[in-house]
Chains A and B, each alone.
Chain A
């Protein structure tokens, strides 16, 4: 760990009371959903941290992760924060407590720029952000059904659209594409292909 990263690490332990994990030169902090909103405020306002910018909020569906069963919650929100004052970055992950109705507090009052990112995570993963002023779908079509980035949503979608000359309007029908996978997904262990003696 570089001295700078160590300084951020120590500040996080002191302020947030949670030990971040260092990997590939990046720090990841994991907080419980109940502490999420409070932690965000601390991260932004504490003079030793000053994460005044939210770079990204990303929804993740962990349901088919790796080749072993996943033990933590299914849905998570991953935030990438940046401090312009101190010139450092942090990743913040929060798992949604309920898999059936994933819900987190909205941080739109902490960083107004998160507004569309939360709408996006809601649209694509169905994560509900409690306290968001305008939680509408953003990227998918008007009247779209389902949350397309969930792992159980087929890549071809569920409906296809065409113009029907008899009804003289656009109609939606179930997809006719057969699912196919050209290159299968293979998980190899970390030392695959290395010489073994």
Chain B
């Protein structure tokens, strides 16, 4: 009998379970992973370098293209960091809108995360269910910004515009009967806030549905319990944040511990796991969706009653309104300067992190007083999470490596930047 040696398996870069372009070199002993070496960078676009050659506002839409599952949260960190440097106050209504859309984004992300974890482990139904609800939330994105994904809605000093008074409706098609059309448009008759409120009423039931399919499912538990266990000490030393850290039992959430915007005014709880395995992280994400739903409801109630400006009136940072620009010479100059030369950010450096759905997403600016950042560093949570892949996958079966990639909740747009 010849001696059987370890062999190497090339997983990806084009594999449906790799969640993008991950090339994973696995050293296997039979079916057991001995070493996992992720090769990343296949989607590297040098966003940070590009930002050095563009004005601040021109770099903002790149944020959407980083983590293309949770777009607005990356914009949020970018804006917070700039506002810190500029010393600009954000109107309270804009802060509520941001919090509301951050939470909508969190649900979008966790729906995707749980749904694809299900898909990777063979649960097709939850994948379809998850994408059904995602569609409604992407419609909210579209209603508010005109784009389903790459919104560019948050701006330094506030948000681009106020919430719309009407929702886009489905149009008649030869495949739709009049009754079906009316049914589809039933919750789109009012404003965006009405639509979101209707969603918050429906959504807890939907989460119950996903839980019925998964939480007590025997096969699901066999595939997730005890897979990819991370101890709290490991999680801290590895730089884990977000659900990955909370799944290991560390109660840490920037929204509570270092509140930004109006998170200290809304009521919600932090979900914390116990065992630090894939199953606990799944439960944390499910609970976070419920909590996000609670926050959205509170924001909707507040926003209904409190109209006001949504972007700062400092026209060195935010453009003046169209009408003002046509009337006043000074505003015309502001508008022209802002869109040709861009805003000048005072010399200094600032770091701002937000509790993104995947973990702490941070933007670090070094400004030398020019109209372009001197250096922009993006701190992406999935980058640190994926770097622990080797430690987490060692000793697991090949099929569990798929579960571990999925539980890390990675998106290559932000890992490779």
The reply to whether A66 and B369 form a contact with Cβ atoms under 8 Å apart is yes
Contact with B along A96-128 (1 / 0, CB 8 A): 000000000000000111111100000000000
Chain B residues near A148 (CB-CB < 8 A): 46, 49
Question: What would 18 more interface pairs be, CB under 8 Å, given A56-B379, A148-B46?
Answer: A23-B348, A54-B239, A55-B379, A58-B375, A60-B375, A61-B375, A66-B347, A66-B374, A113-B237, A116-B384, A116-B386, A140-B41, A149-B49, A155-B52, A185-B370, A186-B344, A188-B344, A188-B370
Contact status of A139 and B388, CB under 8 A, knowing A56-B364, A58-B364: no
Q: Which of A84, A113, A183 contacts B341 (CB 8 A)?
A: A183
**Contact A188 B369, beta carbon cutoff 8 Å:** yes
Question: Does B48 make an interface contact (CB < 8 A)?
Answer: yes
Max count, chain A CB within 10 A of own CB: residue among B316, B340, B353, B369: B369
Taking the complex as formed, is B194 at the interface, i.e. its CB lies under 8 A from any CB of chain A?
Answer: no
Contacts of B366 in A (CB 8 A): 60
Inter-chain contacts of B388 with A (CB < 8 A): 113
Among B155-163, B250-258, B399-407, the one that faces the other chain is B250-258
Given A148-B46, A155-B53, check contact A84 B362 (CB 8 Å).
no
**A163: interface (CB < 8 Å):** no
- B125 is an interface residue with CB less than 8 A from chain A: no
What would 15 A/B residue contacts be, using CB atoms closer than 8 Å? A24-B84, A25-B84, A26-B351, A28-B349, A52-B237, A60-B375, A111-B237, A117-B383, A138-B41, A139-B417, A141-B41, A149-B46, A183-B55, A186-B371, A188-B369
The residue on B at minimum CB distance from A115 is B387
Partner of B237, one of A66, A112, A192: A112
Quick one: CB contact mask for B355-373 with A, threshold 8 Å, 1 for yes?
A: 0000010101010111110
B interface residues (Cβ-Cβ under 8 A, vs A): 40-41, 44, 46, 48-50, 52-55, 58, 84-85, 236-241, 250, 252, 257-258, 316, 337, 340-342, 344, 346-351, 353, 360, 362, 364, 366, 368-372, 374-375, 377, 379, 383-384, 386-388, 416-417
Instruction: Report B-chain residues with C-beta under 8 Å of the C-beta of A53.
Output: 236-237, 239
A187–B369 CB distance below 8 A: yes
Whether B362 lies near A186 (C-beta < 8 A) is no
Contact of B346 among A25, A186, A190 (CB under 8 A): A190
Residue of B nearest to A23 (CB): B348
Q: Is A3 located at the chain interface by the 8 A CB criterion?
A: no
